[in-house]
Amino acid sequence: MTIDIRLLRQVLALSKHRNFARAAESLHISQPALSRSIAGLEQSLGVQLFDRTSGGVEPTKCGQTVIDRGQDILKKERELRREILLIQGIEVGELSIGAGPFPFEISVSHAVARLITRNPNLQIRIDKDSAPAIVNRVLSGDIDIGVADIRHCEEFARLTVEFVFEHAIACCCRRGHPLAGRRSLSLDDLLNFPIVGTVMPPALAALLSRGHAAGRVNEDTKNFHPAITVDSLSAARNIALGCDALLPITPGCIARELESGDLVILDFTAPWMRYQYGFISRKDRTHSPAAIEFMTRMREIEEEAIELETRLFAAYSNFSNTSDGKALAAT
C-alpha cells in the first residue's frame, strides 16, 4: 500500500478547514477533485478517514492517526528538501525568516532586498510575528532563522543565538500630549498613560506593571503586554499620533514624524530602554548559504541604522542620549 505525499497534504488541508470547498481552495484544486482523492485514499486504506456532516467534516479515529503521522512525514520531507538545497548552495536555495516588528522594519526587509539583488533566483519567505511566537516557530522547524528580541529566548540548550546590535529606545508621544515638553520625567509619570507597542520580555514586567494604565503582565508567560498591544509599528505610530498613548520606539522608525514635529521624544532615559535582538536558530540546523548571506547583509543595514538613530537622538532630543549601538554591542 502506497500513500502519496500529495494525498497527505490534502488530508491535512481537509483536517484544518473541516470543509471540502475551503480545503480545495487552499490547495488550488477543484472540490470534486479533492473529494475523489479522499474517497480513493479511504478505499485504498479500507477505512473511513472523515465523517461527513451537514456542518462539515470531522476526522474519525483512523483519520486522526493519518493526520498525526502525516504531519511528521511532511515535516521530514521538508527537512529532506532543505538538506538537498543546502548542498546545492545559494543559487537555488530557499530561506524562511521570522522577524519581530522592530527588526522587520529596521533591517530585515532591506537586507532581503540586497540579498535578492545579488541572488535573484532565491526563494524567500518572511513572516512578521511576535518574538515569543518566532522562538516557538524556530524550535518547531517552521522557519530557518528568526530575528527577534533575544530576551525572549529561554530554551538556550536547543537554540543558537547570535547577537546583532543593541538599539536605544526613545519614549515618544504626539506633540499635543500632556507630557510633551516637560523636563526630567520619571517612570511613574509615564506609567500614568497607556503604552502602545509589542509584547515585552519578563525582565521588564516588574518595572512597567507598576502603572495600571500602561499595561499588564500575562500570568502564564510573565511577558508584559502594553495597554495597546500590536505587532505592527506602523499601526503603533498611527495610534500614538491619534491619542495620548506613549510609544517606545527607535528614532529611525519615526524619522519622518520627528522631522515634521508630529511625534516628539520625551525627556526620559533608563538603562533598560534598549532593544536587544539577534539571529535565532536551532542548534541542530546548519545555516544554509542563503542564511549566511542574509545575516551578512543584515549586519550592513544595522550599521547604517545605528548611525541614523544616533543622529536623530542628537537632533530631536534636548537631553543627553549619546549611547551608540556599536559601543553597546561591544560591551
For the stretch 157-178, pLDDT in tens is 889 999 888 899 999 999 999 9
| Cell numbers describing residue 126 | 518572511
Region label for 215, one of left (φ > 0), alpha (ψ between -120 and 50) or beta (otherwise): left
Return phi, psi of residue 15, to 5°: -65, -40
| Cell numbers describing residue 281 | 536558530
DSSP one-letter string for 137-193: HHHHTSSSEEEEEGGG---TTTEEEEEEEEEE-EEEEETTSTTTT-SS--HHHHTTS
Asked if residues 99 and 128 have their Cβ atoms less than 8 Å apart, the reply is yes
**CA-CA distance, 272 to 141, in Å (whole number)?**
31
The verdict on pTM exceeding 0.85 is no
Helices (H), the chain: 5-17, 20-27, 31-45, 61-88, 101-103, 109-118, 131-140, 187-190, 202-208, 233-242, 255-260, 289-316, 325-330
Sequential pLDDT tens for the chain (331 residues): 567 888 898 999 999 999 999 999 988 889 998 999 899 888 888 899 999 888 889 999 999 999 998 888 888 877 777 666 655 555 557 899 999 999 999 999 999 999 999 888 888 999 998 888 998 999 888 899 999 988 877 666 889 999 888 899 999 999 999 999 999 999 999 999 999 999 998 888 888 988 789 999 999 889 999 999 998 999 999 999 999 999 999 999 999 999 999 999 999 999 999 888 899 999 888 888 889 999 999 999 999 999 999 999 999 986 544 333 333 333 3
CA distances from 55 to 31, 68, 84, 246, 267 (A): 16, 23, 42, 46, 58
Q: Classify each residue of 38-61 as buried b or exposed e, where b means 16 or more C-beta atoms within 10 Å of its C-beta.
A: beebbeeeeebbbeeeeebbebee
Q: What is the CA radius of gyration of the chain?
A: 24
| Cell numbers describing residue 318 | 534636548
| Cell numbers describing residue 169 | 529606545
